[in-house]
Each structure stands twice: as structure tokens, then as C-alpha cells.
Structure 1
């Protein structure tokens, strides 16, 4: 199967990237500059205290990000799952903060979700992201308790019982992971080309070349799987795409840290934020063992 994005799909990707770029400003460490509070320590309970960027949320709503899959008669763009995957890949690449998946799925159901005026939180597996910042909390998040998050830019709560996960949410999470995998590959290659040791760029050393090659291979394999699942919408394809995207994001971010060395662990670098966000996404519902069991059942059948 060969994939070739249409001109409209490429334009959608560019539009999402442009909106995020104009709102966030230039520079790789814009997240650190925009959300300094949680990076200086916690408030005593391990819960991030920064606020959601409502301006960016509304800008995405104006673009039609949340209403992409709504029909034109319902005020949406009338596009499909493939276009939603491309849009979420861009938000994953830029580490956009907030319950994007929950709000996107609530468009057309919760008033204001489609336009970005309402932030919606929902239980995804055993986790709820951005519960305190949400305007609407969907059923399933009852009894949620604060949880110390490894990602300082993603406040978390844990719910007592796991919530049922929508396959679309699983695929959109895979798309976000693909965005991270793509971005950390770019960061690793850029650093390998510019950082010099022993009188030459570190990218000239075989060990670094192998790390960068592995980053690219995992990202492109995940891309093929995620795009294919967006076309077929098959649960088995989605499970395979999620596993590959989780691996590409987590292992890719870890290898990118290896290329950067100690610099990658500093707050001024976005590399460690990609790793932490990938860890959090990996724990969302529908990933890990759930996907493996679904694939095993399909193989047995």
C-alpha cells in the first residue's frame, strides 16, 4: 500500500503547524518559557500548577481542529479520520498541552467543544488529564485523585476503575506519539550535525549514526502503520499502530537524549519533555498490554 497525501491534507498539516507556531513563538524551548512555574518545582503535592493556554485552544477551535470530523451541516469540516490523524501528529510534534483527544471526541456532543470554547476532560483508561482546568468532565472520572505526573506539563488524576477506551482515541494518541517520534528524530540529526567533538561533528561517529538511523526507521515504520490504520479504521490495525508509535516515541526520545548527552536533561532543552510526554501517553487506555492481547487474539483466530 502506498500513501500519498493530497494537497488539501498537506495544507491542513501546514495550517495546524502555523497556528501552533504563531501562538507559541519561535524557539525550541518555548514550552519552558511559557510554563516556567512547574519547572521550578511543585506546589507541595506534586501536581503541576500551570494554566492551560486558552488562547491556543480557541485558535485551534477557529481552525476547525476539534470539529474536523463533524459534518458540514453540524458546523464541521466533514473530513475523516485520516485528516484528524494528520492534525494530531502536528500537535504531538509541538507538544501542545491539554486534553486534545477528549475535547475532539466531545465535539458535537458537548456545547462549545467544537469551537475550542469548552475544554473537556475524560477518563482514558485509568488516567484523566487536565481535570482541574476542564470546563466539562465526562462520566467515568468520578472519584479521581491527584497523581504525581512525570511530565511537568501534563497534570494527571487517577480514577478507581478503568474507563472503556474509544478506538479513535487510541489512534489519535498513536498520531501524537508519531509526532513526537518525528520531532526527536529531527532534533537528534540537527544536534549531530552541529555539535563538534575532537574537531568534527559528532554525527561523523558510527555510534551516533546508528542512533539516528534507528530513530528514522522506527518513526517511518510507525508512520506507515498509523496512516494505514487511519484509512482502514480496523481495531487490529489501530492496535498495531499504537504499539509501533509508542515504541517509536519512547525509544526515539531516549535515543535522542543519548545523542544530546547531558544537555538533553536540562530544562532549556525540549528533548526531555518529549520523553516525559511520551511516557504519559503510553499509559493512556488502549495501549501496551491491551493492544498486545487484541493482536494475539486476532492471530489465534
Structure 2
């Protein structure tokens, strides 16, 4: 099975990157941090007009008519620039919630015991009764905690979290790739003892390990987007979460004390990666799914 991107997919990825970089580049990110977690409705509508939310919606229903692999490429680029907002929930609501496809309606979803962007949403999917504000480590992701409602059915959770988990993995992949780039750029320009810090073996190893994690996660995420297999998605989510969190931590290490300052962007990538790991389909659920499959195979 070929997981290489074709010309149209590469053009889509480049187009989404160009749009997001122009509309939410470094200055946009810093402005969002300074202004607090307020959703940019103008940007949201622009994303809708560009087809971001309607990528998988059939053309007969006013969508773009593409598939899951293309949606993964778009969400990877969103993760690369730390685009804020309930992107996954709104994308998945296109075609079922009026206005979601065009970005006129912002949709949030209850995800386990959390819901992101509850106060900004026009529509909330799931039972958010009794939700209480929760202090979020990520300044661009407001959170509410939802009271637990009994023990979830593992099979049902795996089934319903398939698409959200894969799109989250794609966002994590974009973040992992970006922090790898930031680390390499800093290693090339920051000098100590008369030479770039990238010349030191310890820094070289950190950057190399980041790149390996990114490319392994990329292969897994792209493959899961093609196969749609729940176990492939579980593996992709684990690898993407690890690549994003460990990559951001290693990027902080490369930046040294500067990386921990509020003025730097690096800590924002780590905080968003941490928050995403708490979405449905994260480490515990993915590990359980893979472990159950391994045990089932052993028993046969």
C-alpha cells in the first residue's frame, strides 16, 4: 500500500500552510496570547470559505468531496501553527450542524470529562450540564470539566473516538514537526564558545531524535488515514502524542532558559500538546486497545 502524497495532496497541504501562515503566523499567535482565549470569528469564517471544515463533505452537499487523508493533511498544518478553537468538533459537525461547514457556527464537543471552548460555542454536542471552568495550562485552550456519568463502554469509546483521535494525532504531528524546525533553527544560530550550539554532540542527538519521532509518527498517521483501522489509529495517536510532547520538551532543552520565558513560542507548543493528550483516544485508551488486540491474538 502506497502512503506517499500525490500531487493534489501536496498542493492541498501547501495551500493550507500558505493560508494559515498568512492569517495566523507568529504575529497572530502572539496577538492571540496577549488578547486571551477569544475565538476569531472572522478567521473561523475564512476557514469555512476555504473548505477547511467541509473537506470530507460530498460536493453534492456543498463540500469539497475529499477524504480522510486530505483532512489529516489540513489538521497537520493547523497543529503546526497552533491554530486555536474547537477545530475537530466543528469539522466533524459539518453536514449535520447548520452553518458548521462554512464556519458560521462554532461547535464544541464534550470529550470524556472535558469540553474545549464551551463558552465560545454556538452548539455543544454531548451533555455539558454542570460543566465548571477549569484552569487550562494552555492560554489558548479554555477548558470546562464535565461531571463523569458512569463507567464508559470501552468498545463504544473506541468506536466514537476514531475520527477525533486521528485528527488530534494529525494536529500533534504538525506541532511535533514545527518544534523540530524551531530547535534546528535555534541550534544553527545560537552560539556558545565561539560556535553554533548545533555543533555540540548532545544538541545534535536531541535534534536527530526529534526528527526520528516526527517521521515515525508521520508514517503512522498517514497510514491510519488511509486504512481507517481502529488499531492503526490507536498506534498513530500514541506515536503522535509522544512526538509532540517529547519534541516540545527537547525543543525547550535546546533553547535553554530562554525557552521557558513567556516571550518565547516554544512553551506554547508544549502546553497545547499536553492539553491534546487529554482528549478521548489518548494514551490510556489507545494502549488498552492495542493491548486487548495483542492478548486476543495470543489466546488464539
Fold shared per TM-score above 0.5: yes
Residues 1:177 and 2:176 aligned together: no
1:115 to 82, 102, 105: 102
Question: Which residue does the alignment assign to 1:240?
Answer: 235
Q: Return 5-14 or 167-176, whichever deviates more.
A: 5-14
* Contact 2:24/2:83 (8 A) holds in 1: no
* Residue aligned with 1:35, SS: helix
Q: Does the aligned pair in 1 maintain the 2:56–2:66 contact within 8 Å?
A: yes
Which residue in 1 is equivalent to 2:133? 146
After the TM superposition, list the runs of 4 or more consecutive aligned residues in structure 1 that deviate by more than 3 angstroms. 162-165
1:42-61 equivalent positions in 2, closer than 5 A: 50-61=37-48
C-alpha distance in 2, partners of 1:2/1:185?
A: 26
Describe the superposition over 1:182-221 as per-residue Cα deviations: whole angstroms up to 9, x where unpaired: 0000000000000000000000000000000000000000
Query: Match of 1:201?
Result: 196
* Count of aligned pairs between the two proteins: 288
How is 1:214-293 mapped onto 2 (pairs within 5 angstroms)? Answer: 214-293=209-288
2:89 is aligned with 1:94: no
CA contact (8 A) 1:257 1:265 kept: yes
Distance 1:230 1:125 in 2: 23
**What's the offset of the Cα at 1:29?**
5.2
Deviation of 1:15 (Å): 1.6
In structure 2, the partner of 1:296 is 291
> Quick check: 1:82–1:227 contact (8 Å CA) kept in 2?
yes
Within 5 A, what are the aligned runs for 1:78-93?
78-93=65-80
- In structure 1, C-alpha distance between the alignment counterparts of 2:258 and 2:29, rounded to whole Å: 17
Cα drift, residue 77 of structure 1: 1.0
Shift of 1:81: 0.5
CA contact (8 A) 2:173 2:240 kept: yes
Q: Does 1:137 align with 2:132?
A: no
Measure how far apart 1:140 and its partner are.
Answer: 2.5
Match of 2:34 in 1: 36
1:66 and 2:49 are equivalent in the alignment: no
- 1:211 is the counterpart of 2:206: yes
Question: 1:12: how far off?
Answer: 1.1
**Per the alignment, in what secondary structure is the counterpart of residue 122 of structure 1?**
strand
Task: Return the alpha-carbon distance in structure 1 between the equivalents of residues 234 and 148 of structure 2.
Answer: 22
* Contact 1:182/1:219 (<8 A) preserved: yes
CA distance in 1, matches of 2:118, 2:270: 22
Q: Give the TM-score normalised by the residue count of structure 2.
A: 0.93
Stretches of structure 1 that go unaligned for 5 or more consecutive residues are: 39-49
- Specify every segment of 5 or more residues in structure 2 that has no aligned partner in the other structure, as ranges: none
